[in-house]
Structure 1
Amino acid sequence: MLSAMFTLLNLALLHGALAQTSMGPTVDVGYATYLGSQSYPNTVAYLGIPYAEPPVGDLRFHATVPLNTTRVSEEANLSGKAVVSATYYPDFCIQGTTGHGSMDAGGAGSEDCLKVNIYAPYGAKAGNNLPVLFYIHGGGYVRGNPRNWPFDSWINQSPNVIIVSVYYRLDSFGFLSTPEFTDPAYGDFNAGIKDQIQALKWLRGLHMIANEGEQLFSGAIAQSVFRTPLPTPVQQQPLFQFYASYAGCGTGPVAEQMTCLRGATISALARAQDAAVQGRFSGSYNAFHPVLDGVLITGHPTSKFQRNEFVHVPLIVGATSNETRSDGESIPLALKGFFPSLTDADIREFLRLYPVDEFNSPSQQLQVATGEPELICGRQAMGSPSSLHSNTWTYRYNTPNPTSGTDVVEHAAENWMMFDGTNTGFNGSATFMPQTPAEAAFASELIAYWLSFVRTGNPNIYKLDKSPNPQNLTNVSGSYMERRPATEAVRCAFAISKAQACEN
């Protein structure tokens, strides 16, 4: 359900002791000492620290295995390195294609990617019990490289939190499924989600509807909720068979196919997962996403929220103004492509809510008619039930990415503002563009809201002081209060009522 999620927990810094050595800042976590880099005078980044065993060889397609700290310690000793460098970004997890353009092939990255980047105040000490923001990057479960969303400037602005950004398995490497995975001897459902959970357990720190057996977080920020269908393993089985066949592993029982897939090259698997979304697979469910496994994920997230089957913690949930993950000329085709289980009758009901004469253009009609059920209605689907139990805030981000050349505030537009002018590309790439003083001031305001929520569970306690002073470039706020349009509330109520048909 989540495109990107921040989770909050309280943690004695890495459960370890920080020190300043002649080499630079270090942290001793008991089984290893890591060397960080000082990115600002008040900020230290520890990059690429492992939280689990590498999911390679026989561990490919299996659930996350907790880190063997004895192995890490012995390898450090054998190498003669009393201090392990954590001063450079690690290899990101193997990427899938965005599906746009013949030059956009996936496959870059590494399987040995279960790492975290940790950003901390310089001079923080164990026992400070600083609040932790845990960042799960977006990318539709298919792509994403935490290097493209750095947090050094966040700590520089507010050196009283710790921020942890997690790498987790993506696309087929994280979400391959077939009904036979009910027997873990073959493989495990939702391995990419289990990576995130293991990272939180390593931190001791979380998902709002997952059946994890313990609460690993104390608050959540859900940005641009990706209301993608969560199919069953049976519905994903044709995709599994296509993938196995395309990778050269299509014959024999599942046990033999899985043995073959675990021995296949990364390039063979990358080509197979790309082919599924680039038109070579004719099935309805052509992407490797989380599935309803009946154990970790026991129901559609929207329905579970309406049934009060979620963790009650403070929540911020929002979207950009012009969200959509669909394009094309036909609303019915776009809706059916995104939500394969919708019937023709369901689609006719949707269309009645979006008459063209209520919009400035057919393109705006398409954007709203797809963007609301796909993303925007996540505010209402999560926010309304949450507000009955916990402090809850919703937002609409309404500033376009200035490099887009349009006034349309597209999906993920706020990332450019909040992460140093980042624009992500395919295969883990990104470019960073300079920000104007006004843009930097607005970014600081947004970051202050988020980090106030991290510190207190309320975004307004430590919001940026806009009174004139040498630190502030402007005393004009970029945010304001508004009421949700009544028509949007009605349309989203309908979309929420269709959670079972939309499978989200």
Structure 2
Amino acid sequence: MPNSRHLVSTLVVAASFGLFQYFTGTTLVRVETESVIYHGVQSKSGKLATFYGIPYAEPPLGNRRFRAPVPLKYEPGEGNEKVILDVQKKPAFCIQSPMNGNVLGGAGSEECLHLNIYTPRTAVAQNESEKLPVLVYIHGGGFLGGNPLSWPFEHWVEQFPNTVIVSIYYRLSIFGFLAAPSGEKSAGFDANSGFLDQLEALRWVKKNIGFFGGDNTRITIDGQSAGGASVVLHLLANGGNQQLFQQAIAQSIFRPGLKTMAETKDHFNFVVEHAQCSMPGSSESEKLNCLRTKEVATLMRAAEAAYRQNSTWFYLPVVDGIVFQDTPTVLINKGKISHVPVLTGATTDETFTLSDDMETELKRWYPALSQREVAKFKRIYPESDFGSKLDATATAVGETLNRCAGETLVESMTKGGKRSYIYRFDERNPTEDGWRVNHSAENWWMFQGTNTGNNGTFTLTPFTKPSQERFASELIAYWLSFVHTGDPNAFNIPGVPHWPAWVNGKGPTHRQRMVLKQGTGSTNASGSFVETKLSKALDRCHAVNQMAASIRF
């Protein structure tokens, strides 16, 4: 019986649940699957049922560290009773690395392979026959951090009480994306274990979401930043042959340079040395087994020391030759992708630069970049086109790392015969200084004023204007209309503009995208509008994509 300590505690909680309800006034929601009974909680409005921290795999502890997730199998108790799990409390997030190199990480738990389900209360009622579309959300955070509770979905289901939403937890940083140079199977090592967690969560959803009112033939995956990169990777995994979802939303796709297993050797050896696992003559298998014995704090200190040693030593997915045969854009250019309807886009000004030195800033994300390719970037992004060296550098990094990825994706999907939609998000996060619409700006609007911090922390800032509430509702309606029909226009609120599908080529109806913007004045007026992607900007994207094989993105 898996995770027996957790299971015993949940059985005790379930046995005394009636007394708990008496004192707290909460309402139990019960869902029964083939082998488990889950106890969730009903919202105060009575419209929503939430199940927090449903485990989808065995805890990746001990010898399971750095390995692919193991699916859960529950054995019935005496008298063939089903296992009862209390899933009302918000779970621990996965262990975090800091997004800021000056902050120590390590918060969270290795026992984190969970998911949260938000579903209409009526959808889990007995004898409910109609199954609802499902949105599965993969959080961002650079594959280093991220707490799914930072992006709450209760208000999405309250607004659209005919959708089931799932958010998933997956291993991060060194625990999810450590790469060993040879990846010896004798060591029980699996590259990309954090991505494999996501795959296992999707398999769990496919098998079980019907018990929670969801339709497992109408699943849309969604993610932002590293979550958007994950969405693309799911479209590419195993040669683009996937059967776990039918549509995809990819927001601000994170597109850094990726390495092969062999190229991680120096990084791996540094971590091993810093964690005191490098013995003379030891094999890779012995080094990995030693790392499995180390405390979380020891591994986090090693991971953080590695980043201070070399700022290009990120924890990212790798080209492992098994799940991924090459880097994402190379695979897309070859057509090795699952063609599904897509909604994608980026913010107006997103970029990640610290200086106006284009070579330095590009090599931070693309260390394989040659001098010849640096020169080509400077020709594609000449200072004369942007007014300053800083703006040229910011655009070169911003388009390559985030902004061009959406166009690359919709062009591929449209070529494959799937209707797809693209946006430019043009409303800044009002709690940030400055005028730029930065990376993750849409999250503030879509998730109740969220701002994420280090180590799984976050704050929610209440809206202060009716126009803010209106814009947030407009965004959620576009997104969930797409989830329901593959068309963001299907069930939107009155007064919003029609969002045209992307069309490849030239002409007045080609390259059109929605600019998402808050309205001004009347609370019933939308500020969003349709524009045509400038051909010069798209030409830059195409020119950069032609370098995908050499700069490894």
TM-score by length of 2: 0.81
Equivalent positions of 1:188-227 (< 5 A) are 188-204=190-206, 207-211=234-238, 214-227=242-255
2:346 to 292, 307, 319: 319
Counterpart CA distance in 2 for 1:293 and 1:153 is: 39
Which residue number in structure 2 is paired with residue 444 of structure 1? 473
Q: Secondary structure at the match of 2:262?
A: helix
Q: Secondary structure at the match of 1:209?
A: helix
Which residue number in structure 1 is paired with residue 369 of structure 2? 342
The amino acid that maps onto 2:162 is N
Counterpart CA distance in 1 for 2:92 and 2:118 is: 18
Q: Which moved more, 1:21-30 or 1:172-181?
A: 21-30
Which residue number in structure 2 is paired with residue 417 of structure 1? 445
Contact 1:63/1:194, CA 8 A, preserved across alignment? yes
Q: Which moved more, 1:47-56 or 1:457-466?
A: 457-466
Which residue number in structure 1 is paired with residue 547 of structure 2? 498
Contact 2:182/2:262, CA 8 A, preserved across alignment? no
1:53 to 53, 58, 66: 58
CA displacement at 1:244 relative to structure 2: 1.2
Which residue number in structure 1 is paired with residue 292 of structure 2? 262
Please list the CA deviations of residues 212-244 of structure 1 after superposition, one character each: whole Å capped at 9, or x if unmatched.
754111000000011111210011111111111
Equivalent positions of 1:379-418 (< 5 A) are 379-388=406-415, 389-418=417-446
1:433 to 453, 457, 461: 461
Counterpart CA distance in 1 for 2:27 and 2:428 is: 43
Measured at CA, do residues 218 and 407 of structure 1 come closer, stay the same or move farther in structure 2, by a change above 3 Å? same
Measured at CA, do residues 81 and 31 of structure 1 come closer, stay the same or move farther in structure 2, by a change above 3 Å? closer
CA displacement at 1:383 relative to structure 2: 1.2
Which residue number in structure 2 is paired with residue 288 of structure 1? 315
1:377 to 395, 399, 404: 404
Counterpart CA distance in 1 for 2:135 and 2:174 is: 28
Counterpart CA distance in 2 for 1:52 and 1:326 is: 38
CA displacement at 1:87 relative to structure 2: 1.4
Give the aligned CA root-mean-square deviation in angstroms.
2.0
Which residue number in structure 1 is paired with residue 111 of structure 2? 112
CA displacement at 1:26 relative to structure 2: 1.6
Contact 1:143/1:427, CA 8 A, preserved across alignment? yes
Asked if residue 242 in structure 1 is aligned to residue 270 in structure 2, the reply is: yes
Measured at CA, do residues 33 and 431 of structure 1 come closer, stay the same or move farther in structure 2, by a change above 3 Å? same
Counterpart CA distance in 2 for 1:200 and 1:299 is: 23
Please list the CA deviations of residues 56-106 of structure 1 after superposition, one character each: whole Å capped at 9, or x if unmatched.
011000011111222xx55xx89x997432112110000011134x3x111
Counterpart CA distance in 2 for 1:215 and 1:238 is: 37
Q: Secondary structure at the match of 2:531?
A: coil
Residue identity over aligned pairs, in percent, reads 40
* Structure 1 gap segments, 5+ residues each: 1-20, 468-472
Asked if residue 308 in structure 1 is aligned to residue 335 in structure 2, the reply is: yes
The amino acid that maps onto 1:490 is D
Counterpart CA distance in 1 for 2:129 and 2:73 is: 25
1:34 to 26, 30, 38: 38
Higher RCO (CA-CA < 8 Å; seq separation 6+): 1
Counterpart CA distance in 2 for 1:127 and 1:250 is: 58
The amino acid that maps onto 2:245 is F
Contact 1:317/1:379, CA 8 A, preserved across alignment? yes
Counterpart CA distance in 1 for 2:419 and 2:328 is: 20
Measured at CA, do residues 184 and 49 of structure 1 come closer, stay the same or move farther in structure 2, by a change above 3 Å? farther
Which residue number in structure 1 is paired with residue 483 of structure 2? 454
Please list the CA deviations of residues 372-414 of structure 1 after superposition, one character each: whole Å capped at 9, or x if unmatched.
0111010121111111220111111011100002210111110
Contact 1:239/1:285, CA 8 A, preserved across alignment? no
Please list the CA deviations of residues 264-309 of structure 1 after superposition, one character each: whole Å capped at 9, or x if unmatched.
00000111111222x2x24x74011111011101121112112211
CA displacement at 1:441 relative to structure 2: 0.9
* Structure 2 gap segments, 5+ residues each: 1-20, 207-215, 222-233, 497-521
Which residue number in structure 2 is paired with residue 275 of structure 1? 305
Q: Which moved more, 1:185-194 or 1:23-32?
A: 23-32
The amino acid that maps onto 1:105 is L
Q: Secondary structure at the match of 1:90?
A: coil
Q: Secondary structure at the match of 1:34?
A: strand
Asked if residue 124 in structure 1 is aligned to residue 117 in structure 2, the reply is: no
Counterpart CA distance in 2 for 1:440 and 1:454 is: 21
Equivalent positions of 1:68-147 (< 5 A) are 68-70=73-75, 74=77, 83-100=84-101, 102=102, 104-125=103-124, 127-147=129-149
Contact 1:236/1:285, CA 8 A, preserved across alignment? no
The amino acid that maps onto 2:382 is P
Q: Secondary structure at the match of 1:63?
A: coil
Counterpart CA distance in 1 for 2:326 and 2:155 is: 38
Asked if residue 354 in structure 1 is aligned to residue 381 in structure 2, the reply is: yes
Please list the CA deviations of residues 326-367 of structure 1 after superposition, one character each: whole Å capped at 9, or x if unmatched.
322311100011101110110111011222232244432222
